Amino acid sequence: MFEISRRDLVLGAAGAYAAFGLSKPIAFIGAAEAQSSAQNFRKYKVGDIEVISLYDGVWEKAHDENFIKGANVEQTKAALKAAGLTDAHVPVPFTVIAVNTGGRLVLIDSGTGGGQAGGPKAGILAESMVAAGVDAKAVKTVIISHFHGDHISGLMAKDTNAQMFPDAEIIVPAAELKWWTQSVDAIPKPRQGLAQRIQATLPTWKNVNAVDGEAEVAPGIRAIPAYGHTQGHTAHLISSGGRQLLVTADATNIQALFVKNPEWQAAFDHVPDQAVETRKKLFDRAIADKAMVAGYHWGLPNVGTIAKDGNGYAFTPATT
């Protein structure tokens, strides 16, 4: 019944409220718009632990026949459309998680570093942190899932590579550190630049703690090896008071494509078949354990429940 563009709706909202029987204006802003402006964070409780999802912008990835093994561009567009997203490009959002646990502020992943990765619409994490009341200076621990640029660039200043969290403990998966610090010649060409940046930074920092395999890395947070997306890619299980949240990082890329179709293989997966196996294993575990799940590239709200849905899975966001 509202045959009116979103722009008109936004511009007209101030005067339109009376027509809806409201006593004061409300923002008539579509979900996508709201995400890029007013609501750049969400807060959740996992038992006694507070979890805050922090939006770091979006990469509007151009369509590319080589992006997904298992789906062509037409199928990709259809899946985006079916999820109510634009099909003009693939919208890949970034979402860092902050955790208040045992009196310490922890970040899981560090974001795009003000858009050092992820294109011109990435890099609003600092603003989202301010809006959510998360003080970057109070961060005691940064837990890294894997070393792709959209997850580690927030650790280092653009150009100088100076540490952004020199006083925090930085916890990285040992397998990930090992892979990226091997001889650069053994690393595929497109990833050599990133490997060089990693080799010039992380191994030289005194506050980096490489953790091997499954281990508790902060109060109530366990590292869960989830290899495949990268050789050391690691998920994190947050547990408190009988509740669990499995932070799956990049076990999948965006939900509309890869949660629904877990066998589709994004070009970002280093070991694609292992990545498929890992995402199914993680989701099946979450279903069996009645754990909530979160994904780094799922957009807000990115915390919720997962269920089997045909050959794939369906994500239902939690209400905060």
Residues that bind Zn ion (CB under 5 A): 150, 250
> From the CB of 11, what's the least distance to Zn ion, in Å?
35
Closer residue to Zn ion in complex, CB, 76/248: 248
- Name the E strands within the chain: 41-46, 49-61, 68-69, 90-101, 104-108, 139-143, 169-173, 208-211, 215-218, 221-225, 234-240, 243-247, 265-266, 292-294, 303-309, 312-317
Closer residue to Zn ion in complex, CB, 105/254: 254
> From the CB of 25, what's the least distance to Zn ion, in Å?
38
Closer residue to Zn ion in complex, CB, 101/261: 261
Closer residue to Zn ion in complex, CB, 49/171: 171
> From the CB of 230, what's the least distance to Zn ion, in Å?
10
Cα 168 from Cα 189, distance rounded (Å): 32
Q: How many residues in total does the chain contain?
A: 320
> From the CB of 149, what's the least distance to Zn ion, in Å?
8
The gap from C-alpha 311 to its chain's centroid, in whole angstroms, comes to 23
Closer residue to Zn ion in complex, CB, 150/176: 150
- Residue 226, φ and ψ in degrees, nearest 5: -145, 60
Residue 221 sits at the vertex; the CA angle it makes with 220 and 223, to the nearest 5 degrees, is 150
Which residue's entry shows tokens 């922890």? 106
**Number of continuous H segments (helices) and E segments (strands) in the chain:** 9, 16
Which residue's entry shows tokens 């650069």? 184
